[in-house]
Structure 1
Amino acid sequence: MADRAASATTVTLLPGHSENSSEGGDPLNSAMPDYDGRSLDAWFVADVVTDLPDDLETVREMRKHLPEYDEGLRQYRLANGIELSFTTPDGRSVVDSSVALETNADEAPSYVGVEGESGEENIVRDIIERDDLDWFDGKDKLRADVEDKRFESDAVRESVDGVAGVRAAVVFGGTDTYIEIMREKFYELGPVEFLETTGMDVEAVPAFIVQPPTMYTFLELAVMADGTTLARAWDASPYPKHYLYVDERKRDETEFEEGSRLEGGEWRRNENANERFGQWTLEEQDLRSPFSPHTRAGYEQSVDGAAATGLAPVMSHGEDGSELTASTVASALPPLFPW
């Protein structure tokens, strides 16, 4: 008898430098667009780090400390995880009763933190502090909204060239709770009254309030009886940055310029616009997001098409076993959609 086990985790980072103005930082110093100081980067804080360590446990323990808060806040936006284990008697078959699947479904979402200390000019903070509005219950940090944004498969049995295995998949995402609440109020009040109530400029109510986009990853893990493992992130939101950890070690990451101009270029502080962010907000309206208002069949076709043209998976890592190679398993197993 031999035990087989592996884990895969995607971690989503919103890059940023110091936003602590009392210590020389800049409130508009992250990969969020600020739209001339009227919007996102002026409203919220990013993760105050531009890269993540190789060790996943270190990532989990990292905290950003800001004068606005008396506790450290997690330094990533989202984590999506799968752990698989089973026993094999011969390196070719799986003892069904031994199969175990775990995800991080019970992990509390990261906080969305509002920029600026009490009294500083910031439309979101102004709404928090107003006596006539209770939109945010007076809270300057709220957990990200992950409701109805998780799909999980069971542990599915597989066979490749006569070697049995198990795989599972999870699509998981989250949105900014403050933006979600503003969306509700936007439709409840109507555009004119919404602008009058908040004092917000019309330019600060673009697509990301009308339809808040979702940060997400579509993660899959396969473990074969001979010891072959394969982790694939079939898809991930184009914004912001994502990392793939396999067995707690960083193995792959998505491309992401801090300034996020699609044609490349170096980071510019106080980036006014953000092309990758714009692409992300438009994605929510069509078939390229698993949380779009369209059918899931459309999303499946989109991912299958990306896989056929080599654009998917967006991140991957495999380890060869005693009989199979990770590339053989990858060729034999198409995306496992978890719904």
Structure 2
Amino acid sequence: MSRPTSRLLYLLSLLQMRRDWPGSVLAERLDVTPRTVRRDVERLREMGYRITAMKGPDGGYRLDAGAELPPMLFDDEQAVALVVALRAASASGIGIDEPAARALASIRHVLPTRLRHRVDTIDVSTIPATGSSPPPAVDPEVLVAVSAATHRREVLRFAYASDTADRPARRVEPHHVVTASGRWYLLAWDLNEDDWRIYRLDRMAPRTPTGPQFAPRDVPGSNPGTYVAARFKGSGHADQWPCVGEATLALPPEQVIPFAGDGVVTAVGHDKCRLRAGSWSWTALATWFGRFDAEITDVAPEELAHAFTTLADRFRRARALHRAE
């Protein structure tokens, strides 16, 4: 690696890989003398990189964070990953579409031709989940404020969209920020309710200053993502539906699979299938099976069969009331 420019880029990539590098090891990696390493380090400093020289028998160097963003170095895989992430920014639920577009333009401008051709073929379109509207975008400043309080373990004060004007700011111990299906949530211990609560970031307005530091509590089940998913399903701690049942549908599997969600479809001949699914209640699960508009047989367990009876009676009463009108 005799060319100065190539050697400089390689030196920078080495410094980005780990925190501390002995000078002799860098010289060996670059196949140069320690004196040349010192000169190359000075050149990187002139470009804006903060590189600290470490004292000791062998000496060494450390790449530190600087006050300004210096030129960055990415390999091919990193460059492609950045482009994919930036193109999909609109699906993140954070209001960064315009900054992401500017960052993408900046990166594309400096890409070598071979990479530019590759990333130009990446075209990402996002659509909301079936039957739902796009989630409201989260203000990036809200995400930063909530994440900062979570990282520093400081009590967070905020107003919530459903609060009345005269309600005092809520006080919580923020534990984890969780994202799912384009929405962003805060899992926190509510100091007023003395219980775990989940808040949507797009409905939060953080207040300053934050409160005192707190000792983190153990999240039920230890995994915050699993706990939040479980709460969304109406379960206590495990990421599973509290009500799970199955039935045979008079439809071929290929007509059921696209709409089965997290249900499990098993073929029963060419014109029937067995569907196992879950929901937060038995009546909700029975209604979900009914959405396939097909004959339903062999229902299990008994709770699900009873829910079909409950719905049938409810629908008959609704029909009778309609005729009476």
Shared fold per TM-score greater than 0.5:
no
Q: Which has the higher contact order (CA 8 A, sep 6+)?
A: 1
TM-score, scaled relative to structure 2? 0.19
TM-score, scaled relative to structure 1? 0.18
* Structure (1 or 2) with the greater helix fraction: 2
Greater Rg by CA: 2
